[in-house]
Every structure is written in structure tokens, then in C-alpha cells.
Amino acid sequence: MYADIIVDISYEKLDRIFQYRIPERLKGRLSVGNRVEVPFGAGNRVISGYIVGFSENTDYPKEKIKEIVNVVTNSRKAEGVFISLAAWMRKVYGSTMNQALKTVIPIKKEVRGKEKKWILPVPENNQILEGLGKRSPAKAKLLTILKNRKAISVEEAEENGVSLTTIRQMSEKQMIEIVSESVYRNPSVYQEKQKRKEIVLTDKQQEIVTDFLAHYRKGDRKTSLIFGVTGSGKTEVYMKIIDGVIQEGKQTIVLIPEIALTFQTMQRFYGHFGKKVSIINSRMSMGERSDQLERARRGEIDIIIGPRSALFTPFQKLGLIIIDEEHEGSYKSENVPKYHARETAEELARLTGAALILGSATPSIESYHRAVNGEYKLYKLANRIGGRKLADIEIVDLREELKQGNRTMFSRSLREKIKKHLGQKEQVMLFLNRRGYGGFVSCRSCGEAMRCPHCDVGLTAHKDGSLRCHYCGYQIRLPKNCPKCGSPYIGVFGTGTQRLEEAVRREFPQARLLRMDMDTTRTKNSYEEILSSFAKGEADILIGTQMIVKGHDFPNVTLVGVVAADLSLYGADYRSSEKTFELLVQAAGRAGRGDMPGEVVIQTYNPEHYSIKTAAKQDYKGFYEEELLYRRMLKYPPCGKLLAVLVTSKEEQQAEKLAKDISVLTQELCNKDGLEMLGPTKAGISRIKDIYRYVIYYKETETGEQITEAKKRIEDYLEQEKEKQDCMVQFDFNPMIGY
């Protein structure tokens, strides 16, 4: 018997399976996923690796095969499922096996030993204490201490003469409650004590829960999309569905965007599931995260909530994966393998027999398209709970303002409304829809934006005065006059939040301001601090980027101003319209969450653009239909596949040459079946940290297989030529960013 092993060196040249002999003393003790130490190379340096399989035979001369040195103790045993998932990721997204394994098995060592335990009083503490009388002094002593304390550690109880046996007995009889350190340190635990009042689902909500669970119990595993406007009660639906899945003895992973992992969300889940649920997020230490994964593996919890990476929670009986806000860009990994959590969740669900639910108020075009085609089951929640109205939305044409001589950042209407709402002692949010590094360029007279003639994406202004397309490398000088109307008012529309803040100070000197963007949220808690300060009414106006529009509930906000809706419309990205639509709908959703009705003002140079018009009407379907036409015409996802191949090297000529070689290699595929190749070209950011970047794009219709063939050819070529190259090659399928 031989063990097939992937060695732990993330180096493409070694990305293959090595076989090792299993020594006598380890026979029967090894399984797939184990981390082992093996001698490697000419010097037999001991390095570690993962067992990915076993073979009876080998093609190598038997005497040359080396022996496994040891199995790494304390290593988390990666489940076979995750090895398969890694293999799938490697194949689909293009990476080394090692990189894929590291992604699905992120934490390798038990960082900490045993968890500290805490004893909490139960609400009936005092009655139980009275009931005890004089019978059990040790128990009485513990309950007496707990009369005045929120919690004491098990060690402290022992120091007070209460034995572990007594503590265990008391816990079993529910006279006390024991929680682990990680749960205890989480402030939400205390909210759990104030049991949430049981919510009775509306008929619409109940229909979804009943229908889903009926199919689930029958073994139907078709992916579901819950398309429900913000505040329509999706989260309540998730929780009731999870109840049903728990009854089936199964476990659930809930993914939410990191940014939405707020105190509020955690509180709701704790309120419903108590200790059965655990949370994982990037602010936790390695040790804390490792603990949560370990608890999941041991089956101590039924639910884990976390961002993208929580997908790799090693549940033994995974039954359901929920991806909330499935349209969010943060579900795509920016590291190799550049996986998308939605696609990866689908594969994980397939491997484990789990179901997958996607939820969103503004589904991604891909998901909605699948639902329309019947690939996904579609559930709708069209109304907000409590019949609360969506806000009134006004579109202001900034070109008109300019004609009237108004060159400030505020239209007359927005200025009036800010005054009015501040006068009523209500709060205002001003949102600048700006993302990415560069500004787009447009004419302030006619609204014409500078666009690439080959790609239908906006050109991005660069510091050297050029305008570039990040998709194909097309490049021109910034013109002096608008090519369409000749106006000289053409320029880089780079109004940042800082400039907005200055303008607000000038116009509304009395108002108290808070600003939230990348610059003001660098420290660990600044994000929560700004939001909670605004929630407490310590400021009148909150200025910010898209950070402020996602999922927060401020009942006193009655006016939302979108200062420049166009800023994401011409990003160098085929998803620009979709992102704009999403952000506008989300922004509008911030106004009028409380009892007072809300108003929204959208300022734009493109009032006729479909993503702005449909967003103002909160018309998802209208947007989808227009957008799909565009995607179909240009073969963008979901009507096509897009692959970015990024070639990087310290030597510019090397990167350029390899990119050229690759394009020559794949050129012949482009002649048939509609595979298109764009490039090679310098990447939009042509050098990062002294590494030069070249990019080639491939595009084809959804059904075509040529793109996969192209990737395979490139991989084979790299395998052959690996000795010569000093370059890195990365694949990115359906990229979320422009290179």
C-alpha cells in the first residue's frame, strides 16, 4: 500500500502527487486528509503534506519510494469531502492543489488547548436556591455566588469547594448553565437570556418554509433562490427552515457578507438557536476560529454563521447551506484559487447531499437567470413586513442643474430636502457611489462618458493623463473637449467623500457630521463605533461610500441622498450597471425604516439610464430584462463565460513574452465556435509591487467548451515549459474586477 501525498510547498513546479510507503507502525492509522511528514528531494529534507488517497500499485521502482516519517499530531483531519472539493476548485478555478487545500483547510493546528468553561446562573436561580434548603451546601454556595454575579469560571467554583461532579449534576438538572470561553466572550450570549418573542410567520413566509421542507424531506436538492425585498422577513424564513433541518438531524452553514455580520444579526440567531449556533469572523483570532471549527466537527453546534470562508466548516452531517445577500461581490475570493462561494457551495452541497438556499433583495443576474430558466426554484417575498412603504424616490438631472448655473454637489432639490429633514430633527444619509481606485471621465454638459470602443466599459483615468480600458488595454489621451458636444466641462469625476464632507460643512455649518469610508474605518472597531454613534443620534448627517448602505437599520433616517449615482455606472467592469442598480436599491432601502415615511434623492447625469430608472421604481424585473439583453449581446455572464488569464513577473519582458506565447497557443481555438480572445495587454494596473502584469481575456457563449480547452492548453504548456518561466499565471473565471 502506498499513500498519495501532496507536499506542502505552494510552488507550481511541485504540484503533483508523490507516493510514499506506509511504515508498519502507521498501518491502519492513516486516512485521507491526514497531514504527514515526509522526506523530500535529494537531501531528504523533512516537509509536511496531505494524504489525498491510497494506491495498491506504483509506476515507480519500488525501492526508490521513500517512507512516511510521521503523522502530524494535533493536525485537524481534513474530511475527504474537502479534499474532493479542493480537487474540484483546482480544476475549475485553476490553482495548485496545495493552494486549493490551504483554502479549504485553512487552520491546520489546534492553536489552543482546552477551552475555559464558565458557569452562568439560570433565570430561576433564586427560587432554586430557596428550594434547596439545607440539603446541599455546595450547591447552595454556588447558587449564592451566582446571585450577584453574571458568571464565574469553573476554576473559581472549584476553589470555592464545589466539585466538578456537583457542577456537572447541577448543569444536567438545569440549575446552572455552562458555556465555553468562546461563547462566553461573545456579548450576544446575554441577549439570549431575554428570549425573543416567538414570531408567527406570515402566510407568504410560511408557504416558503413548508414548501422547502416538504421537498427537502423528499430528498429534492434543487437550489432555491429567495427573492425578497429588504425587510420582507427572509431571515425569519431562514431560521424556521433551519429548525426543520435540525429536526432531520442535519447541520447548517449560513454565509453572510462580512459587513453584515453585525451585532444585530448575531443577536437574532442567538435569540432563536441559543448555544446551537456559532459565529466566525475575521476579527476573531486564529485560536478562536479554530475552536469554532472544532466544535462544529465534534457536532457541538448545529449552525455556523460567517463570511465566505465559513463554507469550509467541517460539519459531519451538513444538511443545508444558506447564502444571504448572494449578489455580494465579497463572495468571490481575491486570492488564488479565485473561487466564488456560490459555485463552491453548489459543489459542496452536491458532494455532501446538502441543499443550497440563496437569498437577496437584488439577486445577481446569474442567479435570477437560473431561477427564470427553472434551474433554481424561485420563492418571492414582495412586501415588507408590516406593510411599510418603500421610500419616495426623486431623480434629479444634474445636467439641468449645471444649465441653471449650479455647480455645487447639491441640486436645489437635495439642498431643500436636507434643510427640511434636519429642521424636523431627523437624520440624513449622503451616499457617494464610489468604488475602485480611479475616477471615470464624463462630460458635465451632455453626460457623455468616455468609453472603450471595443468593450462597452468606461475608461478609467490614470495619473499620467491617459484614459484606459481595463479589459482590452485600449488607451487614449484625455480629450480637452467633449467628443460629442464640444463642451470644455469634461473631466475626471473624482469627487471623493472628503470633498463631499467639506461641501456639507460649508452648506450646513450647524449639522453634526460623521464620515465613513476606507480612511475613517482603518482601526478595528471604528466601523461599529461610527454606526452606533449615528444610531444614538450623535450626528445629523452620515456621509459615506457603499459601506453605509448595506443592511443597517436607522429608524430616524428619513432622507437618503445619492450624490452622484453615475460613479459606479462606468466602472471598468461589465457588472457596473448591476452594481449601480443594487447600490441604489439598497440606498433607497435605508430611508423610512421607522414610523416616518422616507424620501430619496438620486442625483445623476444619466437620468435615462435603465439601471437608474428601474432602481428608482424598485423594479428588479425591468432591470433584469434590460441587463440581460446587454449581457447576451456581448456574451457576458450569464450569457457567456469570461476568463481572465493574468501573467505576472518581475521581468516585464518575461511576462509580455509568456502572455504572447499563450495567445499564440490559443489563437487557433478562437477561429471556431465563437471563442474570442482579447489581448494580450498590460493590465489596468500594469505593475504592483514591482511585479509586471499582463492579461488576456477569453470570452464565449455559455454552452461552449473552448474556454475550458484554452485553460487546459495553457496549463499543459506551463507544465512543459516550467523550467524556463519566471512567471506566475493566474486564472480568474467570471472576474468581479477588471484587470
Binding interface with ligand ADP (CB under 6 A): 199-202, 205, 228, 230-236, 385
Nearer to ligand ADP, 208 or 616 (CB): 208
> Helix (H, G, I), strand (E, B), or coil: what is residue 191?
helix
From 341, 337, 188, select the one nearest 277 (Cα to Cα). 188
Q: How far is CA 531 from CA 275, 528, 629, in A?
A: 27, 5, 39
What is the number of alpha carbons within 13 Å of residue 315 lying toward its C-beta?
27
Where do runs of H (alpha helix) occur along 29-118? Answer: 80-89, 97-104
CB of 421 to ligand ADP, least distance (A): 24
Nearer to ligand ADP, 208 or 601 (CB): 208
- Tell me the C-alpha distance between 219 and 201, whole Å: 24
Residue pair 692/652 in contact by the 8 Å Cβ criterion:
yes
Q: Which does 236 bind (CB under 5 to 8 A by kind): Zn ion, ligand ADP, none?
A: ligand ADP
Neighbouring residues of 457: CB distance < 8 A, sequence distance ≥ 6: 451, 469, 470, 471, 570, 571, 572, 573, 574, 576, 738
Q: Which does 262 bind (CB under 5 to 8 A by kind): Zn ion, ligand ADP, none?
A: none
Q: Which does 42 bind (CB under 5 to 8 A by kind): ligand ADP, Zn ion, none?
A: none
Nearer to ligand ADP, 103 or 205 (CB): 205
Neighbouring residues of 542: CB distance < 8 A, sequence distance ≥ 6: 427, 428, 429, 430, 513, 514, 515, 516, 530, 534, 548, 557
- Tell me the C-alpha distance between 420 and 559, whole Å: 10
Nearer to ligand ADP, 307 or 314 (CB): 307
Where do runs of H (alpha helix) occur along 90-124? Answer: 97-104
Q: Which does 443 bind (CB under 5 to 8 A by kind): ligand ADP, Zn ion, none?
A: Zn ion
Q: Which does 484 bind (CB under 5 to 8 A by kind): ligand ADP, Zn ion, none?
A: Zn ion
Nearer to Zn ion, 88 or 574 (CB): 574
- Tell me the C-alpha distance between 12 and 19, whole Å: 18
User: Are β-strands 599-604 and 392-397 bridged in parallel, bridged antiparallel, or unpaired?
Assistant: parallel
Length of the chain: 739
Residue pair 640/631 in contact by the 8 Å Cβ criterion:
yes
Q: Which does 199 bind (CB under 5 to 8 A by kind): Zn ion, ligand ADP, none?
A: ligand ADP
Residue 682 in grid coordinates: 498590460
CB of 429 to ligand ADP, least distance (A): 18
Q: Which does 48 bind (CB under 5 to 8 A by kind): Zn ion, ligand ADP, none?
A: none
CB of 593 to ligand ADP, least distance (A): 9
Nearer to ligand ADP, 385 or 670 (CB): 385
Interface residues with Zn ion (CB under 5 A) are: 443, 445-446, 448, 452, 454-455, 469, 471-472, 474, 482, 484-485, 487
Q: Which does 472 bind (CB under 5 to 8 A by kind): Zn ion, ligand ADP, none?
A: Zn ion
CB of 228 to ligand ADP, least distance (A): 5
CB of 461 to Zn ion, least distance (A): 15
CB of 500 to ligand ADP, least distance (A): 28
Nearer to Zn ion, 210 or 487 (CB): 487
Q: How far is CA 119 from CA 167, 228, 413, 560, in A?
A: 9, 41, 58, 46
CB of 414 to ligand ADP, least distance (A): 27
Nearer to ligand ADP, 264 or 404 (CB): 264
CB of 271 to ligand ADP, least distance (A): 10
